[in-house]
Structure 1
Amino acid sequence: MSTTARPTPPWAIVTLREVMVKARDRSYLISTLVTLVLIVGAVVFNAYLSTKADEYTVAVTDTAGSAVVAIAHETGQADGGNTSYEAVTTDSTDEALELVKSGDAEAALTQENGGTWTLTGNEELSGGLQQGLAEALRAHALALNATDAGTTPEALLDGSEFATALLDGNTENQFLAQFAGFVFAFLFYMAAIVFGMAIATSVLEEKQNRVVEILATAIPIRQLLYGKVAGNTILAMIQLALYAGAALLTLTFTGTADTVGTIIPASGWFLVFFLAGFLILASAWAMIGSMASRSEDLNNSSGPVLTVIIVALFGGLFAKGQVLMIASFVPVVSSVAMPVRMLSGEVPLWETLVSLALALAAAYALLRFGEKIYRRAVMQSGGALTLRKAMKLEQ
């Protein structure tokens, strides 16, 4: 008994064509490769800076100065630290300053007649050097004063323990959430514009060259739209997955992956929410391309879409507290806001699913609406159309 193969859906053919055309585009491949190199390079450079040892030579004039430098060195080496301090003892303040001037010491730590301590550099003083010696000096003075008072530094500091906490969130993840929020927002912004404009440009070129009229005789117009949206969405997802994977792998191999366990779940959800958000924007970009008659029209009519993208960008960067929670349920903006919330603190699973459902519902609704505008406008020649005029056209 023979069976006939099920024909490939037209939208799948268009999707494959979009992907293959982009995959053979040299500028696209080069830009992707350059971005990957930049991401890997940035992670490696950050790992180099985090493991680079800071070494300071400090000129002193007495045993008290040497004791302060020794305390700074002990503190700098504690808990796996890589900051070292070395004291060079001189006979006078002038000799200590001469070592600084000649470059044999980064700074001179001196005290005149038991008064104020002075840290002297040549042309500048490192912030790390200043902070390390200042903390060491306080510890040294505390120990001396405690001894004079017949007690211990620990007794004097009893009851001064200090901790931080957040009612909503995790203090350890606060900086991580800010940094990852910037990365998520930037990637969403770039992908939404680059691939969104590619959809609009492709639609416009087919309209100008009347290729769409030929295609319309072979496949339904809506299938052409579905294929373009699907193809560029796949390309955007692949590119984002490459960027995220390269960054996470480099973090792991460079030994700076202490927080990768926190980043990975949020990164996974970011890809999921990006998919929903990009589908919404892709439909809007396709409508813009179908209503345009020349490339200049794309710039004039893309304002509303760019505004939504910028709102999502700034929502991920600056939204806090209640505003961030509300933003995490707003389609498109939630593509950045919800992953940032996950990094900032625990988010109930039901909230995540509700937000994703809202985004997918909005994507479906706008795709169907975009299909109607696309069918009406893409076959029209002449000047650019507004949304109101496109809705009045016959299908």
Structure 2
Amino acid sequence: MKTVLLVARREITTQLRSRTFVVGILLMLLVFGGYGAVIVFAGTQGSSSSLVLDGPARELRGELQGTADRLGTTLRVTEAGNRDTAESMVRTGEADAMLTGAPGTYQLVGLDDVAPGLRSLVADVVEQQAVRESLLAAGADPDRVSTLSGVGVRTLEPVDTELGQRIGTAFVTTFLLFFSVTAYGAAVAQGVVEEKAGRVVELLLATVPARQLLAGKVLGLGLVGLLQLLILGGVGAAVAVGTGVLAVPALLLPTLVSALAWYLVGFFLFATLYAAAGALVSRQEELQSVTAPIAIVLLVPFLLAVAVLPVDPRNPVTTVLSFVPYLSQTLMPARTALGVTAWWEPVLAYLLALAALAGMVLLSARVYRNSVLRTGARVRWRDALRAGRP
């Protein structure tokens, strides 16, 4: 154990003294800051619409404003003195569109297009007006017809008022886990190849057993990745709470704890696999060919977590896959952050991941021991597993 800790200390010291560690943190902070700024800007740009009314269309002002309020849409309605003024407001951007005309001849005019949301809102109001006037002409009571045709809505589960916060937290957690495991898993493979190409590994193996050397390297880089994850998570959480982006700080603690726990098992699962893959080749140029399949396995759950879970948190496919080792380290914490897991689900998934890790440690140690001293042509997985015992 002492030898493993010495090797881990060497890896930690090397990484912390390198510029890559600091640059990586700064780069990720810039990426998250830029992404957040874009989201906030896009939200403010798309959160409101403006409409200018001309002629008889002015009579719809109250209904337009009331309908927008009921839908939770911000609509700024103004009136123009004449058609030319209304068109000028659209051309200069003071209004998104102009509504002109009378019943039967209404026309919605935009600069080059009219946003679907605004178009739908205006169409609904005009349709409601036409139906109301037709009912009155037929001697019917529009209010009674509206009451009889109304449909009440209720849910079997309480409405999750924190869903938006959960989705944002789940996305950030997923991205941090994906970045950390990918970056430091690949660093393990790169370090193995560098030591193998420079014949440094031959000197190390003269005094350190292969299994302990592998364990120390993986442990050291894993702790460095954990430190970076803590820094990024802490800074991100502080900024989110301080700026009011995250209005429910209580969501943070369980999410961060879950992320840290899943990072550890996810990193060690992939790091041992990356180390074994790195031992198969002797040059950096050959490394990508053996690590590309591993990167694909990492990418699949990330894409599912950011593309499927936000719109369908209870998707049956992602639910099943969140229990599968090598996929669970991304999918299960995302589902947990969204609040759609029972207490036993992450526990079971974690136990399955630990079982897979135990098997992968034995397999990777065997491949590493049998391949790391073989230079020249790339070693095949089959040959590395058959040759000798670890």
TM-score range (shorter-chain normalised) is 0.7 to 0.9
The number of residues matched between the two structures is 382
Cα distance in structure 2, aligned partners of 1:135 and 1:249: 44
What root-mean-square deviation, in Å, do the aligned CA atoms of Structure 1 and Structure 2 show? Answer: 3.5
- Indicate whether 1:66 and 2:55 are aligned: no
Contact conserved, 2:170 with 2:338, CA < 8 A, in 1?
A: no
Identity %: 25
1:190 aligned residue: 179
Cα distance in structure 2, aligned partners of 1:175 and 1:185: 15
After TM superposition, give the deviation of residue 384 of structure 1 in Å.
Answer: 2.4
Q: Deviations over 1:29-72 (max 9, x none)?
A: 2232022122123224433544567362503113xx22423433
- Which amino acid in 1 is paired with 2:11? E
Contact conserved, 2:12 with 2:224, CA < 8 A, in 1?
A: yes
2:224 aligned residue: 235
- Which amino acid in 2 is paired with 1:156? S
Alignment partner of 2:341: what SS? coil
2:317 aligned residue: 323
- Which amino acid in 2 is paired with 1:216? L
After TM superposition, give the deviation of residue 186 of structure 1 in Å.
Answer: 4.3
1:368 to 341, 362, 365: 362
2:387 aligned residue: 393
- Indicate whether 1:87 and 2:76 are aligned: no
2:298 aligned residue: 309
Contact conserved, 1:315 with 1:327, CA < 8 A, in 2?
A: no
1:4 aligned residue: none
TM-score (norm 1): 0.81
Cα distance in structure 2, aligned partners of 1:314 and 1:51: 27
- Indicate whether 1:109 and 2:93 are aligned: no
Cα distance in structure 1, aligned partners of 2:296 and 2:84: 63
After TM superposition, give the deviation of residue 11 of structure 1 in Å.
Answer: 1.8
TM-score (norm 2): 0.82
1:16 aligned residue: 9
1:273 aligned residue: 262
Cα distance in structure 1, aligned partners of 2:257 and 2:239: 17
Contact conserved, 2:4 with 2:216, CA < 8 A, in 1?
A: yes
2:23 aligned residue: 30
Q: Deviations over 1:188-219 (max 9, x none)?
A: 44333321221111111112222222223443
After TM superposition, give the deviation of residue 324 of structure 1 in Å.
Answer: 2.1
Alignment partner of 2:76: what SS? strand
Cα distance in structure 2, aligned partners of 1:244 and 1:159: 50
1:215 to 204, 222, 230: 204
Cα distance in structure 2, aligned partners of 1:212 and 1:102: 69
Cα distance in structure 1, aligned partners of 2:94 and 2:378: 72
1:289-368 alignment to 2 at 5 Å?
289-316=278-305, 317-318=307-308, 321-368=315-362
Alignment partner of 1:302: what SS? helix
Contact conserved, 1:39 with 1:243, CA < 8 A, in 2?
A: no
Alignment partner of 1:85: what SS? strand
- For structure 1, the residue ranges without an aligned partner over 5 or more in a row are 1-7
- For structure 2, the residue ranges without an aligned partner over 5 or more in a row are none
Contact conserved, 1:59 with 1:99, CA < 8 A, in 2?
A: no
Structure 1 pair 264–216 and aligned structure 2 pair: CA distance change class (3 A): same
Structure 1 pair 103–258 and aligned structure 2 pair: CA distance change class (3 A): closer
- Indicate whether 1:253 and 2:242 are aligned: yes
Q: Deviations over 1:323-371 (max 9, x none)?
A: 2232121111011221233345542222221110111121122113222
- Which amino acid in 1 is paired with 2:322? S
- Which amino acid in 1 is paired with 2:63? I
1:40 to 33, 41, 45: 33
